[in-house]
Structure 1
C-alpha cells in the first residue's frame, strides 16, 4: 500500500474510534482554525510562496492526536502502572536522559559542619575594640590590631603560601627586623631546628588543591597590658579556627575539610618613636593530617590515605572546639 494510503487508513481507523459528537466538535474547531489562518488576499500576494497550508483534514488529524495524547495522560494520571508497563515495553531508558545524581558535597563543602556559620576569609579575624592600654594610645592599639589582622591573613589565607609556595605576603607584613629572622629559618626541614614555616599554613606541595576560594574563619583576639624586654605595651593573644576545603590535585571527588587551629601571641610597643608589632610565637594544629612527617607543612589525610607510621592517641577531641586543652604529640580527633 502506498505510504499516503496507509496514512489515510490509519487516520480513518483512529477517527472511527471517536464518537460522532466528539468528531463534530473537532471539525468545528478545525474549520475555525483554518479560517483564522487565511491571510488577506493582498497579503498573500506579497508573501513569498511557502509550504502548503494545512487542510481541515490535517487539522482534524492534529486535533485527534491531541485528544488521544490527552486521554493517554489521564490514563497515566489515574493508572501509573500503565506508565510502568510502557517503560518496560520500550526498553531501558538511555543513560543520558536519566536524572544526574547529586555530586558529593553538592550542598556546599561546609554544609552540615560548624564551619557553615563561620565568617568568610579575613572577616573572621575579628579584633576587639581598640582602647588605650599598656602605655599605648587608642590610635596605637587600633594600628597594632590592624597589622595583626593583616599578618594573620597573609599567614593563613594567602593562596601562594597555602599551596606551599614562598610566604612573600607574610614576610612583607612582618616587622623589618623580624623579616631577616624569618627568612633565615624558613624551610629548614629538620625536626629539631626551628622552622619559621610553622608560623604560616602551607599544604605540602602536590598534596592538595583548594576546592573553593572560600576559607571559613572563627575565633577571637584578646588584649592585655604587658611588659617584654624592657618595653611596655599590649599583648595580643590570638585563638582562631580556619577550615579549608581541599582535595587531591585533579581529583575533586576526594574533597575533605581540614580544620586548622591557630594559636599565638603578638606584642605591640613603641621604640624610637615607631610602633612595633612583634610576633612572639605562632603555631597551629591540623585535622586530619599526618603526624609522622615533621617538615612544617600540612599533609592532609584523605579517605583513601594509607595509615601513617605514627598512630594518634588519646580520646577523640572535637576539631571545632576553640578552647580545647593542649595535647602533646598526635591526638585522635572526631570527623571534620
Structure 2
C-alpha cells in the first residue's frame, strides 16, 4: 500500500469512531487548517504534484485534528489491558506513526485489562486546577495517606501486637508496589522484594522479568522503560480493606487482610507535556498472617490497569496514549460494555481488554 493510501485508511478508521455530527465538526476544522497550510505551500510545487501535495497536507492535518478532538470526545480509548495478551509493543518514545511499526504456589495473580499538540483541549498537566481535576481522584488522599487499613485486634490465634505488625507490613507492601519511584520507573523492585516472606521472595526473584511464563513484575506497577514520566510527584490513592480470622486446609489458623485500592497517576511521555493523561492501577489483594510471623501474599495486584496497552505481556505497564499505534487486542473489545475504573466494586473480567467510561 502506498503512503498516501495508508494515511487515507488511517483517517477513515479514526472517523468511524464518531457520529455524523462529530464528523462534520472535525472535517470543518480540518478543512480550515488545511486551507491555511495550502496557502504557505512551496512555489516549486506545480501541476499534479501540487494537487497531490494538497491532498497529503489535508489528510495529515485532518488526522492531527481528529486525534486532538478524541481527547475530548473519546476518553474511553484508554482501556483496561490484559497483560496476558500477545502482540508487538512499540517503544512509546518513538515518533507518532501513521502506519504500522517497522521494526503455582507463591505466585500472586494479576491481570491488566497519543495526544496531539494541535488539540485545543487542555492536557492534565495544563489544567490550572491540577492534573486530577474533574476526576474522582481529585478527592482522593495523596500517597500513603490513602492506605487506610483496619485497626489491629487479637484474633485468629494471633495477638493484637502480631496483627498490628502484619497490618504495617501490608501497608508497606502496597506502598512499595505502587508508590516507590525506582519501581515505577521500571527499575528493580528492591523495596517490594525485601518485604516479602523469604519463600515468596525466592519465587519473585526467580520469575522477575522472565521472557516467558509467569511474570513477577506484574505484582508491582512498573512503567516500561522510556514510556512514561510522572507529571506531578502526587499519586492519588483511595480504597478499603478488611480483617478476618481464617483456617487453611492444613488446619492452621491466622488472620486474612483483604485490600482493594486504586492508585491514580498523572503521566506523560518523557519530555512531551502535550501527551499527559491519567492511568489507574487497581490492586485487589489478600494477605494471610500466621502466628509464626509468615505474611503470605495469596492474591496480589489483581484489579487491572486502565490507561495501558492490551498487547503487552512482559509484566510492565505500557501506557496507551491517543496517538499510539493501534492496539489490536483493545480493538477486539470495542463492543463490550465499558468499565468505570474508579468503581472499587465493579464486575471484573480477567483477561479481557475493556474500554473505560472515563479516566
1:161-180 correspondence to structure 2 within 5 Å: 161-180=183-202
Tell me the alpha carbon deviations over residues 148-184 of structure 1, each in whole angstroms, 9 at most, x when there is no partner: 0001100110001011110000011112222111100
1:281 pairs with 2:304: no
Per the TM alignment, residue 104 of structure 1 is displaced from its structure 2 partner at its CA by: 2.1
1:292 maps to what in 2?
311
Q: Tell me the TM-score normalised to structure 2 length.
A: 0.62
In structure 2, C-alpha distance between the alignment counterparts of 1:248 and 1:334, rounded to whole Å? 23
Query: 2:337 aligns to what?
Result: 315
**Does the 8 Å contact 1:248/1:254 carry over to 2?**
yes
Structure 1 residues 109-118 or 129-138, which shifts more?
129-138
Residue matched to 1:38: none
Q: Answer with 177-186 or 163-172: which moved more.
A: 177-186
SS in 2 for 1:325: coil
Greater helix proportion: 1
Asked if residue 304 in structure 1 is aligned to residue 338 in structure 2, the reply is no
Deviation at 1:225?
Answer: 0.8
User: Quick one: distance in 1 between partners of 2:324 and 2:347?
Assistant: 28
C-alpha separation in 1, matches of 2:261 and 2:201: 24
Matched, 1:250 2:301: no
What does 1:4-43 align with in structure 2 at a 5 Å threshold?
none
How far 1:278 moved relative to its partner?
1.2
Q: How does 1:1-336 map to 2 (within 5 A)?
A: 104-190=126-212, 193-228=213-248, 229-271=250-292, 275-283=293-301, 284-310=303-329, 311=331, 312-313=333-334, 314-328=336-350, 329-336=352-359
Q: Distance in 1 between matches of 2:154 and 2:309?
A: 43
**CA-CA distance at 1:110 after TM superposition:** 0.5
2: distance between equivalents of 1:104 and 1:217?
A: 22
Q: Deviations over 1:228-248 (max 9, x none)?
A: 344210111110111000000
Q: For the residues of structure 2 that align with 1:153 and 1:223, how far apart are their CA atoms? A: 19
Provide structure 2 residue ranges, at least 5 long, that are not aligned to the other structure. 1-121
**d(CA) in 2 for partners of 1:177 and 1:291?**
31
- Distance in 1 between the 2:157 and 2:272 partners? 53
May I ask how many residue pairs the two structures share in their alignment? 231
CA distance in 1 between counterparts of 2:184 and 2:127 reads: 22
- Structure 1 stretches lacking a partner, 5+ long: 1-100
The alpha-carbon deviation at position 105 of structure 1 amounts to: 2.1
RCO (CA 8 Å, sep 6+): is it higher in 1 or 2?
Answer: 2
Structure with greater strand share of residues: 1
8 Å Cα contact 2:157-2:291 kept in structure 1: no
- Structure number with greater Rg is 1
- Contact 1:245 / 1:255 at 8 angstroms: preserved in 2? yes
TM-aligned CA deviation for residue 264 of structure 1: 1.2
Once the two structures are superposed, residues 13-54 of structure 1 have per-residue CA deviations (whole angstroms, 9 ceiling, x without a partner) of xxxxxxxxxxxxxxxxxxxxxxxxxxxxxxxxxxxxxxxxxx
Q: CA RMSD in A?
A: 1.6
